[in-house]
Amino acid sequence: MRHPWHKTRTRERSSRRRRFIAAILGTAAVAAISYGATNWVVGLNGGSSGEGQSANVSNLSISAVASPAASNLLYPGGNGDVVVSISNPNSFPVTITAVDLPTNSTYATGYTTSALTTTQTGCLAATPSGVTWSFATGTSGTSHALTNPLTVAASGQANNPLVVTMSNDASMASTAPAACENTYFSMPSLTGVTATGGAATASTSPATDSWTS
């Protein structure tokens, strides 16, 4: 016959075992839930060149802006500044580290004013104007690292849009037509950017940057 305390010890061991197993199972459950909550499907958004998180990550947009006016103007055989405005629609900052360029035979269109509404006769992309992105090559989509990463603040925050002057990042061929004197240019569209979203200190607008190769 077993002593009563023997049964008690047995029940205590069983109880501890159940608590232990329960702890293991609970931990595994929490880990599984946590893993599922921190991983989202990442896909490609149409028209973009990088990865976007479906439904939660939106593409940047880059538009032309006349102010501040480029102080480094284009002349045949030389380089000049380009001014852009970068908008970030996401709820988090986005940092740009590189731009992707079209080919060096993709030319800018000339306009009579900074509003870029009336084209300049004799200075069109098809003429050609001779104006391209600096360091563009014969291959479309080449990536060119920025000298300094640019961080565009989250949507609704200061410095978004971010206005940036890209120093010497436009080039004019020595054979540019005379019609391209005193002309404003709409640069060819970039083919993409290298950018990531996440915590970062936003750049201050207006900023200055460039790519040098």
Round to whole Å and give the CA distance between 61 and 120.
Answer: 26
Beta bridge partners of 163: 85
Considering only residues 80, 107, 124, 167, which one is a binding residue for other proteins as defined by CB under 8 A? 80
What is the 8-class DSSP label of residue 193?
E
Least Cα distance to 52 among 102, 8, 88 occurs for 88
Shortest separation between residue 28's beta carbon and other proteins, angstroms:
9
Shortest separation between residue 62's beta carbon and other proteins, angstroms:
4
Q: Nearer Cβ to other proteins, position 64 or 125?
A: 64
Residues with Cβ within 8 Å of residue 151, at least 6 apart in sequence: 93, 94, 95, 96, 200, 201, 202, 203
Angle in degrees, CA 185, 191, 197, rounded to 5: 115
Q: Does 149 bind other proteins (CB under 8 A)?
A: no
Q: Could you say which residues in the range 35-64 bind other proteins, by CB under 8 A?
A: 35, 38-40, 42, 44-45, 47-53, 56-64
Q: Does 6 bind other proteins (CB under 8 A)?
A: no
Per-residue tokens: 1? 């016959």
Q: Does 187 bind other proteins (CB under 8 A)?
A: yes
Considering only residues 1, 156, 175, 201, which one is a binding residue for other proteins as defined by CB under 8 A? 175
Q: Could you say which residues in the range 98-127 bind other proteins, by CB under 8 A?
A: 108, 110, 114, 116
